Chains A and B, each alone.
Chain A
Amino acid sequence: METLSDEMIMQKVSEGNLDLLKVLFDRHHKHVYNFLYKMSGDQMLAEDLTQDVFYKLIKYRNSYNNGSFLSWLFTIARNNLKTHYTRNHKSHDDIEVLAYKAVEEENDVSENNAHLQYALSQLDPEDRELVILNRYKEIKYDELAEIFGSTPGAVKTRVCRILKKLKNIYLESI
């Protein structure tokens, strides 16, 4: 069971084998959580949203269309985050504030993290999403292209450009 691909497992889940969702949860919840955390800079929010993503996975298991599971999962995660910000009438840019709060309030969190969050908060929301997802090794350029509605080549070029920009912001902030 552990060697089955995400897609095959999800296929079985949508056919009614709900227990297999645990396998998918174990495999991916950390990444979803980290994506949302890096996007929002807020641990509590990231945890709530991650939970919501997997609830939606349960709820909408029948609408899984046999495409790339990771694309599907992170599309749900992105939409969740967007919905959250729309509902709270805040734009993604408010992360900047949150990032500073994180610096001030959580002294135990490493300085690297604070700088990283700051650098991330300087990016456009979509650039930020792209680069965070890119660092998750299991997501290929193909899947990124699928999530962002682009071509793999364009995504690759863009990721390189953003990474360079992000690295520079990060190094300057140290």
Chain B
Amino acid sequence: MEKQHVFDQIPDYLDGNLSKSEASVFEKHVENCADCQKELEEMQAFLNVMDKEVHTPSDKLKANFEAALEQEKQHQRKVVQLKSKSSSNWTGNVLKIAASIALLVASFQMGSLFQQRKVDASIAQLQDETNQMKQTAMLSLMENQSASKRIQGVNYIEEFERPDEAIIQALANRLLYDENDNVRMTAFEALAKFTSSETVKNTLIEALENEKNPSIQVAVIQALVQIQEKKAAEPMKKLLDKEDTQPFIKDQIKAVLPSLT
């Protein structure tokens, strides 16, 4: 007989978890082994106590559980309802999202529009300021002692799309009263671009009467003929009669006078 204790099998034996053959081997050993027998008896007594000590909880437990279960069942129904509701609102949600995106885009556009306006306004203001500065520079340059500076000032006219009356007047003064031929010539060229202005026309006629430089005279005559200014006819005739008028100027006047009258 093997003298190997079977302590490890005692609980299983008592619980009936051993197979028949295992159980018979176990029993045979226990019969011949006092230690194992004692252990078996003790364990049996102990497990009896342990398994007997089963307590019953109060009825409150069951009642509470069933109440909670009822609540959960109602909640479940609610949840199902909510779910179906939310699924039917699917298109509504999409619309909401679309609306919010549209709102976002619209407000962005509005924002950039206002920004643009603001920028435009400030750019216009800046342009205004630069124009004024150019004008001041131009006017002051035209009063300069140096003829070349005065020409530079007159040439500034190209910076202005629509020069105001002050500039026209200043140019006219250059054309009529500047002592330097080149300045007067440049001033004429500048004014020639604005012949639609009444002031410019009158200035040209006045220049025709007073001008001594033949090349400017020719240029003024051509400009006046080009705009078909009738009032220029009288001064031209006077020039024809004058003694000191250059012969080729007279020829020129003779050639164009018929088209004016």
Contacts and interface: CB of A to CB of B under 8 A. Distances in A.
Interface bin, chain B: 20 to 34
A166 B46 contact: yes
B60 A160 contact: no
B69 A22 contact: yes
A50 to B, nearest CB: 6
Interface string A19-32: 10110010001100
B56 interface: yes
Contact of A30 (B39, B43, B54, B68): B54
Contacts of A100: none
Contacts, number: 82
B69 A21 contact: yes
B72 A58 contact: yes
B152 to A, nearest CB: 90
Contacts of A30: 54, 56-57
B195 to A, nearest CB: 93
Contacts of A163: 11, 43, 46-47
A134 B72 CA distance: 33
B50 interface: yes
Contacts of A43: 55
A140 B154 CA distance: 112
A38 B54 CA distance: 9
B72 A18 contact: yes
Contact of A25 (B39, B42, B51, B62): B62
A51 B12 CA distance: 32
A89 interface: no
A163 B21 CA distance: 24
B34 interface: no
A157 B9 CA distance: 9
A93 B8 CA distance: 28
Interface string A42-73: 01001100110011001100000000000000
A37 B53 CA distance: 11
Contacts of B11: 134, 159-160, 163
B53 A116 contact: yes
A171 B46 contact: yes
B72 to A, nearest CB: 5
Given A51-B65, A135-B47, A163-B11, A112 B52 contact: yes
A17 B11 CA distance: 39
Contacts of A160: 7-8, 10-11
Which 10 pairs across A and B sit closest by C-beta, in order of nearness?
A: A167-B46, A33-B57, A160-B8, A58-B72, A112-B49, A54-B65, A18-B73, A113-B53, A47-B57, A163-B11
Given A33-B56, A54-B65, A54-B68, 7 more contacts: A18-B72, A21-B69, A22-B66, A34-B54, A157-B8, A163-B43, A163-B47
Interface of B: 7-8, 10-12, 15, 39, 42-43, 46-47, 49-58, 60-62, 64-66, 68-69, 72-73, 76
